[in-house]
Structure 1
Amino acid sequence: MDAASKVIAVMRADPLRWHLLGVVSALDLPDGWIGAGFVRNAIWDHLHGRPPSAPTGDVDVIWHDPFCVDAAKDRKLEAVLHVVEPAIPWSVKNQARMHGRNADEPYSSVTEAMRYWPETATAVAVRRVGKDDCEVAAPMGLGDLMQLVLRPTPHFAGKKRHIYEGRVRSKGWMKA
């Protein structure tokens, strides 16, 4: 089984994550996905032989619409998601506006935006397609995610490495 198929199988086997993917899919967002720790934690739990754990921290809903870059739209979407699943700490971000916060050139898609995220293993997103299908976006590949490798993306390997290192420390990823 290839890595993308494995990610999809792990998502399908986790009832809560599969449900949340359906909730986000129902919003019909342009280029809409759930990414970051939502995927990484599920895969790393699986690779460590642990049962699926509930998502910790924010559930990062990412989408891309260059014609709707008002942050208020993200807050409205979070409110809608909160009504459907109030126990989930939703975080919605239109990646079409995030380049400004990150001092990058505009991103043309969610996949391009993920190239500018701090860690390769976190630059992964999934989305439900139809009732039973799922897609994986991984612009940095799935190798590091599947091999439990923690490293910065090229964008965070140089001047921004201190940000990557701060994330590693604050999240406690290197603790046994």
Structure 2
Amino acid sequence: MNDLEDRLKAIVRADPGLMQVMTTVRNLGLNDWRVFSGAVYQCVWNAVTGRDAGYGIRDYDVGYFDLDTSWGAEDAVIRKVAEAFEPPLRDMVEVRNQARVHLWFEGKFGEPYEALTGTDEAPGRFVAPAFAVGVRLEDDGEISVAAPFGLEDVFDMVLRPNPDRPKARGWDRAVENARARWPEIRVIDA
């Protein structure tokens, strides 16, 4: 384990909203699940900039992996997760079967998306390395981390395009959204 991963785990543990989401989702028994993207990197940015926990966090993205790629199966999980939360978290937790993403991604975002074989592959496809962080509260209470590009960009508040994919069509919008809440970010638009 490295220092940045230890720092991330401490920051996550200090965020009551994120811990509540992870505890609740863990207790639902979803397969191969993670909370990732905004709820994680924004949690770090809040800690780095001295903002309150939860500042600017609009949703909690939860990915899980189920080989049943039918809409009905995913919808049942979405409903199960929603029932486990009270407002406002009920409306903030967005759960998606990562085994289904390739079925709808191109239609929604205009970019091809190869099928995944597990949830931990998903962050490697995110728009920026800083966004590519996932956490899970394990049964033993430990927090595991998936960060295919490492954690340096997250802690340095650097946004750069994902080097393993073409620049996302929504790149400029993602930068604008982040900069509006965290003007301290540094953008490397290469």
> Could you state the TM-score of these two structures normalised by the residue count of structure 1?
0.87
- Structure 1 residue 28: deviation in Å? 1.6
Once residues 20 and 93 of structure 2 are traced to their aligned partners in structure 1, the CA distance between those partners, rounded to angstroms, is: 14
For structure 2, the 5+ residue unaligned runs are 107-111, 184-190
- Structure 1 residue 74: deviation in Å? 3.0
For structure 1, the 5+ residue unaligned runs are none
- Amino acid in the other structure paired with 1:23: T
Once residues 22 and 131 of structure 1 are traced to their aligned partners in structure 2, the CA distance between those partners, rounded to angstroms, is: 11
Indicate if the aligned counterparts of 1:78 and 1:90 stay in contact, CA closer than 8 A: no
What are the equivalent positions in structure 2 for 1:130-149 lying under 5 Å apart? 130-149=139-158
- Amino acid in the other structure paired with 2:44: I
- The aligned counterpart of 1:78 is 78
Once residues 104 and 37 of structure 1 are traced to their aligned partners in structure 2, the CA distance between those partners, rounded to angstroms, is: 20
- Structure 1 residue 77: deviation in Å? 2.2
Q: Greater CA deviation, 25-34 or 95-104? A: 95-104
- Structure 1 residue 111: deviation in Å? 1.8
- Structure 1 residue 46: deviation in Å? 0.2
Indicate if the aligned counterparts of 1:107 and 1:113 stay in contact, CA closer than 8 A: yes
- Structure 1 residue 72: deviation in Å? 3.1
> Aligned residues, how many?
172
Show CA shifts across 1:40-60 (max 9, x none).
Answer: 111000001122126722210
Q: Structure 1's 10 and 28: CA in aligned 2 closer, same or farther, altered over 3 A? A: same
Find 1:163's aligned residue among 161, 164, 170. 170
Once residues 111 and 34 of structure 1 are traced to their aligned partners in structure 2, the CA distance between those partners, rounded to angstroms, is: 10
List structure 1 segments (4+ residues) > 6 angstroms apart after TM superposition.
Answer: none
User: What's the % identity of the aligned pairs?
Assistant: 27
